[in-house]
Structure 1
Amino acid sequence: MLTNTDWLEYRNVHSPDKEAIVDKSISYSYEDLHNRVNYLSAYFLQNGVQSGEIVPVILHHHSQFIITVFALWRIGAIVAPLSPKFPETELKKLVLFLDCRVYISEETSEFDFVNHKKITPDLTYKKSFSGNSLWNINKPGGAIIIFTSGTTSIPKGVLISFDSLYNSFTAISKFDNYGSHDTFLASLPFNHIGGFSIIIRSLLCGGTLLLPQNTSHGGILEGILKLNPTLISLVPTVLNRLVKSGIKPNPKLRSVYVGGASSSESTIKGALKAGYPIIKVYGSTETSAMVCAYRPSLITGNINASGYALPGNSIYISDQYNKPAPKGMEGEIVIESPALFTEYFKNLEETQEKKKNKNYYTGDIGVIDSNGLLTVFMRRTDLIISGGENISPIELEKEIAKLNFIKEVYVLGVDDDDWGQVVVAVFTTNNNNIPENENVIRQHLLKSLPSFKIPKFFIQLKHIPKNEMGKPNRNKLLKIILQDVRLNTSQDREE
């Protein structure tokens, strides 16, 4: 195990000439990458970045992001990747939550946070870092903080250690036999654990990371066609479009990981028929990405299964008394793994609720058959997963309720073959301006939330059906929603 080892320094010693990153027309060997990281480490130190402090990194999906992260790790900082696509209001909320002094962003970024020093990476700086690397040194803190949406609008910063990142890599590497010949398409956003872990896998196995033009669905499809990766990770939305496009897998492609949303049986079957080597995976930010994997087959069936526990991990189903349930019984999925997160940043109560006796209580519902194969039925009560993005319905409801004409609002996810789920907002009002109301709500949400969180459909009702407890009746609402003719039309969500 590479304990107390600078992973990039290790690669520089053992395979300096190996191609590490291909970013459009630019290629970096591991030696090139090591040297650039050294320069940027010195630059950050000169600009006052300190070991042990949390540093938000708000950069686009380019090699600059990777060099910045590695440079911060080399001087002992904790990285918090944030998407530059988020509205300034959301970025400000997260930066304030992190209690940080400095943040990293591009020179052209329009946002500016008072009382926080902005540092723009200078990749032309040539003074080399001369100290001892603090990358992966055992110390309080961690490697990264990844934000994930929970079932409330309060941000959940998941603190993950270097050991957990390494153990996550080891598990999937043993399953899928990674090697230096592998090329990884960076097909998921870096501020998500799914995207960030692709960087780690490529580095630790000495492979090559391929950066697409952008992370839009079109950009990913183009990257698959032109870059010919051996390994790709896709949300079901992109996989579905890939199959519908008629694009055939290149001969080098050996694994397509599908996770991040509930993939429909028709999508998986279509991909298998087209010849794509599908591996279904299950995991979360709290498990440092995937802890289950499975190669579905048109012959053996079990298309809807989520996977077997990866090497070094164990999974069981908890019954209503928090005891291991018999095989075949439905219940909460509990994970024991060396890749578990350290804590929820500034949230001891939820950390203690979710982590007990080295186990992570996911809140997800599933079943394990007699052979140990896990099938996930529901990903966190109420949480909507659309196109691989986690969306909190409560956050949306609170924002919509701020409008004076709204009486009641309820947001939920509806299953969709393309997106996994689509977001639908059902509401009642004090007026009857149905077309105008929808537009006003949409424009109001766009002022404070990223576009992927905006509901795809808005449905105005005279009243919201309730159950005997006075809560919205989800089943009745789903019937009403599914009768809406717009759900049967093809509409592209803004990416």
Structure 2
Amino acid sequence: MSWDTDWLKKRARITPDRVAVVDGETRERWTYHNLHDRAERLASYLLEIGVTKGERVALISPNNIWYFDLMFACTKLGAIFVPINWRLSKNEIYYILEDCQPKLIAYHDKFKPLLSSRYRGSLLNINQQHEILLKKTSLQHYFVDVDETDPLAIIYTGGTTGKPKGAVLTHQSIFHNAINTITSWNLTGDDTTVTYLPMFHTGGLNALSIPLLHIGGKVVIDDKFEVQRIIKVINEERCTILLLVPTMYHVLTETELFQKTSFPSMHTFLSGGAPCSYRIYDAFAKKGLAFKEGYGLTEAGPNNFYINPNDVMKKRGSVGKPMLYNNVKIIDHNGDEVRCSEVGEIVISGHHLFAYYWNNPTVTAETKKNGWLYTGDLGRFDEDGYFYIVGRKKDMIITGGENVFPLEVEHIIAEHEMVAEVAVVGISDEKWGEVVTAFIVPKEGVSLMKEEIELYCKAYLGSYKVPKIIRFVSHLPKTAVGKIDKKQLVEMVL
């Protein structure tokens, strides 16, 4: 073992009395000493029921401290933490449990119906038993030789393109993402965030929560995204940095309360998970607040870029430059690096990469090659070395032999004053191969015509990029983490 993987033990020793975690609803607070003690006691309980190194421990729960309890207990034992996406169907969850075969499933009361009776492992009702166990369980003396390359977590990536894949994150993966984030983003122990992204997702767990705990900051956990509540939490807990997905920012910036709030403690608003509308950039710029986008994925970090907030408006839409301890390049279909402004696939290397897909060596070999992660995302960089995300390779539309990037069309339509939300997909067509198709949510109380959108697009886009099919809808379907579910949109037309 080249370094001690149990860094929480040392953090608790250095800053035992600092507040580590706050419940956003009850405002219950836990210090670093509390956090470490809970993990020690839970590790002792897991040992009592026979959980050993390499075995999986699953959790299905809304955001709360139990995520940290189980993850840090697994850190100590060399066990593998598996947070479960509770927004999946019962069959999808059963598939995940069959795939990873957890020794124990800890669950919240309200998600008990999602657990199939076919599952034969141990169950722990965290509402009824968890706190009692922590009080009653006596600390055991144990030693487990845990190496940095041992698995720490399996995070299953979305199921919109097939069965979920379990991305295995090692102690090294999570540690290096934390260090890279802290050093590149200049995080300190004085920083506070509130985690609204679901903690079964890498954005909720690893984007800010783990890095801030690593440096001795404060993490507020909440799971009810309501504008009045989030603004209250930000101001009362004096949050300094926040990560939301674009759909959350869309809701936030459209409210009168956002316009009236100055956010005096905040230094950075971050957006991730999907490309962001320029309208959101403008909403923050008008208030003089720092706003920027990031880029990442479960298999890499998820943090990979840094951009100075002072550069955001002159490089609007850019995710910035690669962080200190990772490398990024953009390649063409032959694997050669592209030139400035050319579009290609984003590939990433660094110690923060995932190790492999659980029980899936074939897809692992297709995704990781010679130490590089092939993301399937398209990007470009400008003459100053700033990177821009163009979209997913699988989302690129080829119509009449021309390439159309949905994000470009979405950005244009989103700027229309009567449009609330938009998503663009390609629909199979006998004549054109694919046709550009736009799904538009009009602003409340307004009426839009297809011809209006067509004329608007023709003023800014080449004719082949103008949507041939335009559908007005009341809402856009979203995935578990708030991304627009484009697979569902395609199915709505077919």
Indicate whether the TM-score tops 0.5: yes
Q: Could you say which residue in structure 2 is the equivalent of 1:22?
A: 22
Deviates more, 1:45-54 or 1:332-341: 45-54
Q: Identity over aligned residues, as a percent?
A: 25
Give the drift of 1:474. 3.1
User: Among residues 142, 153, 161, which one is paired with 1:152 in the alignment?
Assistant: 161
User: Among residues 95, 100, 103, which one is paired with 2:97 in the alignment?
Assistant: 95
Q: Is the 8 A contact 1:58 1:84 kept in 2?
A: yes
Cα distance in 1 between the residues matched to 2:317 and 2:272 = 12
Q: Could you say which residue in structure 2 is the equivalent of 1:117?
A: 122
Structure 2 portions without partners, runs of 5+: 398-405, 440-465, 483-494
Tell me, yes or no, if structure 1 residue 273 matches structure 2 residue 286.
yes
Deviates more, 1:375-384 or 1:277-286: 375-384
Give the drift of 1:127. 2.4
Cα distance in 1 between the residues matched to 2:348 and 2:289 = 29
Cα distance in 1 between the residues matched to 2:369 and 2:237 = 43
Q: Is the 8 A contact 2:424 2:436 kept in 1?
A: no
Q: How does 1:35-434 map to 2 (within 5 A)?
A: 35-107=37-109, 109-113=112-116, 114=118, 115-121=120-126, 122-125=130-133, 126-132=136-142, 134=144, 137-138=146-147, 141-149=150-158, 152-197=161-206, 198-212=208-222, 214-215=224-225, 219-245=229-255, 246-295=259-308, 297=310, 301-382=314-395, 415=410, 417=414, 422=423
Q: Is the 8 A contact 1:248 1:275 kept in 2?
A: no
Give the drift of 1:146. 0.9
Length, aligned pairs only: 425
SS in 1 for 2:91: helix
Give the drift of 1:133. 5.8
SS in 1 for 2:97: helix
Q: Is the 8 A contact 2:235 2:265 kept in 1?
A: no
Q: Could you say which residue in structure 2 is the equivalent of 1:408?
A: none
Cα distance in 1 between the residues matched to 2:213 and 2:329 = 31
Counterpart of 1:240 in structure 2: which amino acid?
Answer: H
Give the drift of 1:61. 0.7
Give the drift of 1:96. 1.2
Cα distance in 1 between the residues matched to 2:420 and 2:102 = 35
Cα distance in 2 between the residues matched to 1:318 and 1:424 = 24
Q: Is the 8 A contact 1:237 1:419 kept in 2?
A: no
Counterpart of 1:124 in structure 2: which amino acid?
Answer: I
Q: Is the 8 A contact 1:76 1:134 kept in 2?
A: yes
Give the drift of 1:80. 1.0
SS in 2 for 1:279: strand
Q: Is the 8 A contact 1:19 1:28 kept in 2?
A: yes
Deviates more, 1:375-384 or 1:201-210: 375-384
Counterpart of 2:169 in structure 1: which amino acid?
Answer: I
Give the drift of 1:222. 4.5
SS in 2 for 1:89: helix
Give the drift of 1:330. 1.6
Counterpart of 2:18 in structure 1: which amino acid?
Answer: K
CA separation of 1:177 and 1:2: change in aligned 2, threshold 3 A: farther
CA separation of 1:213 and 1:365: change in aligned 2, threshold 3 A: closer
Give the drift of 1:199. 2.4
User: Among residues 433, 436, 443, which one is paired with 1:475 in the alignment?
Assistant: 436
CA separation of 1:319 and 1:184: change in aligned 2, threshold 3 A: same
Give the drift of 1:202. 1.9
Counterpart of 1:110 in structure 2: which amino acid?
Answer: P
Q: What is the Cα-based RMSD across aligned positions, in Å?
A: 3.2
Q: Is the 8 A contact 2:435 2:467 kept in 1?
A: no
Cα distance in 2 between the residues matched to 1:348 and 1:216 = 41
Cα distance in 1 between the residues matched to 2:105 and 2:396 = 29
Counterpart of 1:291 in structure 2: which amino acid?
Answer: N
Cα distance in 2 between the residues matched to 1:308 and 1:145 = 28
CA separation of 1:154 and 1:112: change in aligned 2, threshold 3 A: closer
Cα distance in 1 between the residues matched to 2:140 and 2:106 = 22
Cα distance in 2 between the residues matched to 1:419 and 1:131 = 57
Q: Is the 8 A contact 2:166 2:357 kept in 1?
A: yes
Give the drift of 1:134. 4.4
Cα distance in 2 between the residues matched to 1:476 and 1:420 = 14
CA separation of 1:127 and 1:483: change in aligned 2, threshold 3 A: closer
Q: Could you say which residue in structure 2 is the equivalent of 1:394?
A: none
Give the drift of 1:88. 2.0
SS in 1 for 2:72: helix
Deviates more, 1:35-44 or 1:109-118: 109-118
Q: Is the 8 A contact 1:56 1:102 kept in 2?
A: yes
Q: Is the 8 A contact 1:175 1:311 kept in 2?
A: yes
Give the drift of 1:287. 0.6
Cα distance in 2 between the residues matched to 1:326 and 1:483 = 35
Q: Could you say which residue in structure 1 is the equivalent of 2:458?
A: none
Give the drift of 1:298. 7.8
CA separation of 1:97 and 1:222: change in aligned 2, threshold 3 A: farther
Structure 1 portions without partners, runs of 5+: 385-411, 427-463
SS in 2 for 1:284: coil
Q: Is the 8 A contact 1:243 1:274 kept in 2?
A: no
Counterpart of 1:358 in structure 2: which amino acid?
Answer: G
Q: Deviations over 1:338-365 (max 9, x none)?
A: 2111011111122112211111111111
Q: Could you say which residue in structure 2 is the equivalent of 1:7?
A: 7
CA separation of 1:10 and 1:284: change in aligned 2, threshold 3 A: same
CA separation of 1:133 and 1:204: change in aligned 2, threshold 3 A: farther
Deviates more, 1:186-195 or 1:209-218: 209-218
Q: Could you say which residue in structure 2 is the equivalent of 1:458?
A: none
Q: Is the 8 A contact 1:296 1:303 kept in 2?
A: no
Give the drift of 1:219. 4.9
Q: Is the 8 A contact 2:426 2:435 kept in 1?
A: no
Give the drift of 1:12. 1.5
SS in 1 for 2:319: coil
CA separation of 1:238 and 1:224: change in aligned 2, threshold 3 A: farther
Q: Deviations over 1:432-471 (max 9, x none)?
A: xxxxxxxxxxxxxxxxxxxxxxxxxxxxxxxx73246xx5
Q: Could you say which residue in structure 2 is the equivalent of 1:429?
A: none
Cα distance in 1 between the residues matched to 2:350 and 2:132 = 41
CA separation of 1:127 and 1:100: change in aligned 2, threshold 3 A: closer
